[in-house]
Amino acid sequence: MSADKSAIHSKESAPWQGQVRRYDIVKEGVIALLIVSLLTLTLSIFMGSPDEPSLTFKGWAASNSDNFYTTAVQELAGTSESAGYGAPYNDAGVGLNLGPLWLQKWAGIHHPINSANDFVITPLGEQQQPAEVAAALSTWRSAAVVDKQRWAVDYDAALSAVEGKVSAVKSGDYGPVPTLAKGLTAMATSGALDGLLLSQGGFFQTDHTKQILFFGDGAYLDDAGTAANLQGGTWGMMNETGRYPGQAWLWLYSLWYQIPPFNNEESHPIGANADAYILALMGFMTLGLVMIPFIPGVRSLPIRIPLHRAIWRQYYQTEGIGKRKKK
Amino acid sequence: MMSNKIETQKPDMWTARLRQSWQKNLPIEKLLPDTQPAYVASWIYVFGVLTLSALAVIIASGVVLAFEGPSWYHISDAGRFVNSLHFWSVQLFFFFMVVHLWGKFWMAAWRGKRQATWITGSIAFVVSIATAFTGYLTQTNFDSQWIAFEAKDGFNSVGIGAWFTVTNLGQMLLMHVAFLPLVLGLITVIHVLQVRRKGVVPPIDAFDQTLKGVNK
């Protein structure tokens, strides 16, 4: 640091010796609080706030029973998104990576979820079932793993062949799977599944991980998100239901999902692992924001780009301080 | 030897040293000033106090919501109104804070050994985002279902999701009403005390003699 710069730095850190003016900090605070309170009150009265009711399994089964039924089959077959997710729910997938860093996998399984048991078999077993469903449940429980897999996978494939239209599925040896899916759909339609998945055999329960994952396996939640313009590819991260501002402060986070290579999920390794890369990038940028005073180039931007001339215009005029000459 | 008179100025006492340091660095005249440098004369300066005011409204409305529980506002008009107060004060808070942050950036407000003021302010911004995010997760409506489903992938992808479980309403609620507000409140207090201690940063070029007198 040159002698001149050092002297300026020293003066900038010393108590101000120049002209001062009256300043009532308490009055300023009270007036600001009143203004903000009035502004908040006015916005609340005239704009309200969003509150779109939560989705339910009952609503899903009632509005699109075939999709619910098909999702139940996928849970049994292990072909749903949650069944193959990987950590922290199971070891069926390797998860995302940051190049050589497999942080998701390394973190391990902290919330074990077995999609077939947690979403289908256990809820069916928690409630008294019609005779055919009870028999199907008994058959499933006593069957060999290889048989369970064969029945469910074959039936899932048969459903996929007719695009999930349950009534159009070709007949075949699907074991108890169709009856189990039918039984679960009936439970969901009656509303019983919502309560059973929430309680999970206990009284108090505040963890909704299983319900959220089950919802995400089907089309119901996804369709509702699309309808509300909440998908990540359409700036959904900072949107909100209704005509409300949402989390506008996430605009930069949301931006990365709109541009290559992050939005190229199909054919680019970074796009395929966009969640991990974008989170790491935002972490890096956040660190940069905090450390701006120590980053050469960035910290001198406000000195090179003279927006401060507008902020302290009055002071510069009074003191007769001119513009910095170009070298 | 014991003395009847307690030596309160003894330099090896932690309490005495803390008091002396406080009195030296942050005397009451700095904490509650009645004058300030003449250059503090721009609308940009009001956004700091507006941010603090919005935070006060957030806390007040949040306390009411906390007393009634996270589902109250679904079934009560009064609850919906308090929720609206909470919602809009958060929106205003972020608007004021972002303007404040940009203003301080263009002032290079970290000059003159004020780096800690910038650092605490920017950390407060980041913690505010985390607090607001957990608030969106605890709305117990469709938005929180959707956000939980989408956000879990981001946190899971780098391993954080193993401990920070966005689909766990109980954990998010406690984060939102207890841990994060505590952290934000603490950082905000430190930030404000830094501002009072160091004073408002002087204008760029205020001490550059080579530029003085050019306009005259």
The mean pLDDT value for A20-40 works out to 97
Q: A42-56, A66-80, B101-115, B194-208 — which is least confidently predicted?
A: B194-208
Residues of A in contact with B38 (CB under 8 A): 18-21, 315, 318
To test the contact with chain B by mutation, choose from A221, A311, A313, A317 the residue with the greatest count of B C-beta atoms within 10 A, namely A311
Asked if B87 lies within 8 A of A44 by C-beta distance, the reply is yes
The residue of chain A with its CA nearest to that of B170 is A206
The mean pLDDT value for A226-253 works out to 91
Contact A187, A123 (CB under 8 A): yes
Asked if A111 lies within 8 A of B165 by C-beta distance, the reply is yes
Whether B69 contacts chain A with CB within 8 A: no
Contact A184, A166 (CB under 8 A): no
pLDDT of residue A324: 59
pLDDT of residue A175: 97
Q: CA distances (Å), A236 to each of A240, A246, A284, B109, B153, in order? A: 8, 9, 23, 34, 15
Structure tokens at B194: 């830094």
Whether B190 contacts chain A with CB within 8 A: no
Find the radius of gyration of the CA atoms of chain A.
30
Contact A270, A261 (CB under 8 A): yes
Which B-chain residues 28-47 have CB contacts (< 8 A) with chain A? 32-42, 44, 46
Distance between CA atoms of A50 and A36, rounded to whole angstroms? 21
CA distance B133 to chain A (A): 8
Distance between CA atoms of A10 and B198, rounded to whole angstroms? 13
Asked if B85 lies within 8 A of A33 by C-beta distance, the reply is no
Determine phi and psi for B158, rounding to 5 degrees: -115, 15
Q: pTM for the full model? A: 0.93
Tell me the residue ranges of DSSP E strands in A30-131: none
**pLDDT tens across B104-150, in order?**
999 999 999 999 999 999 999 999 999 999 999 999 999 999 999 99
Asked if A316 lies within 8 A of B113 by C-beta distance, the reply is no
Asked if A32 lies within 8 A of B150 by C-beta distance, the reply is no
Distance between CA atoms of B34 and A22, rounded to whole angstroms? 6
Asked if B161 lies within 8 A of A224 by C-beta distance, the reply is no
The mean pLDDT value for A9-37 works out to 94
pLDDT of residue B216: 42
Residue A66 has pLDDT above 70, yes or no: yes
The larger pLDDT score, comparing residue B37 to residue B7, is at B37
Asked if B108 lies within 8 A of A303 by C-beta distance, the reply is yes
The mean pLDDT value for B165-180 works out to 97
B154: nearest Cα among A134, A152, A278, A37:
A278
Determine phi and psi for A113, rounding to 5 degrees: -135, 125
Residue B209 has pLDDT above 80, yes or no: no
CA distance A220 to chain B (A): 11
Residues of A in contact with B42 (CB under 8 A): 311-314
pLDDT class of B215 with cuts at 50, 70, 90: very low
pLDDT of residue A204: 87
User: What is the residue-wise DSSP string for A86-105?
Assistant: -TTT-SSS----BTTB-HHH
Asked if B37 lies within 8 A of A41 by C-beta distance, the reply is no
Asked if A247 lies within 8 A of B136 by C-beta distance, the reply is yes
Mapped onto helix, strand or coil, the DSSP state of residue B142 is helix
CA distance B106 to chain A (A): 5
Q: Which helix (H) or strand (E) holds A45?
A: helix A25-47
Mapped onto helix, strand or coil, the DSSP state of residue B162 is helix
CATH 1.20.1250.20 fits B44-201, yes or no: no
Asked if A54 lies within 8 A of B156 by C-beta distance, the reply is no
Contact A108, A100 (CB under 8 A): no
Q: What value, to the nearest 5°, has the Cα angle with vertex A91 and ends A85 and A95?
A: 45
CA distance B10 to chain A (A): 29
Q: Which long-range contacts (CB under 8 A, 24 or more apart) does B96-103 make?
A: B96/B47, B96/B50, B96/B51, B96/B54, B97/B47, B97/B51, B97/B54, B97/B124, B97/B125, B97/B128, B98/A249, B99/B44, B99/B47, B100/B44, B100/B47, B100/B48, B100/B50, B100/B51, B101/B125, B103/A311, B103/B44, B103/B45, B103/B47
Q: Which residues contact B105 (CB under 8 A, 6 or more apart)?
A: A292, A302
Asked if A208 lies within 8 A of B148 by C-beta distance, the reply is yes
Asked if B107 lies within 8 A of A302 by C-beta distance, the reply is yes
Residues of B in contact with A106 (CB under 8 A): 159
Q: What is the domain partition of chain B in residue ranges?
A: 44-201
Distance between CA atoms of B197 and B203, rounded to whole angstroms? 18
Q: What is the domain partition of chain A in residue ranges?
A: 57-227
Cis bond before residue B27 (omega within 30° of 0): no
Residues of A in contact with B89 (CB under 8 A): 36, 40
A293: nearest Cα among B39, B202, B104:
B104
The residue of chain A with its CA nearest to that of B203 is A312
Distance between CA atoms of A187 and A122, rounded to whole angstroms? 12
Residues of B in contact with A311 (CB under 8 A): 42, 44, 103, 106-107, 203
For all residues of chain A together, what is the average pLDDT? 93
Structure tokens at A98: 């940051």
**pLDDT tens across A254-296, in order?**
999 999 999 988 888 999 999 999 999 999 999 999 999 999 9
Residue A183 has pLDDT above 60, yes or no: yes
Q: A302-306, B82-86, B127-131, B184-188 — which is least confidently predicted?
A: A302-306
Residue B213 has pLDDT above 70, yes or no: no
**pLDDT tens across B15-44, in order?**
999 999 999 999 999 999 999 999 999 999
The mean pLDDT value for A206-211 works out to 94
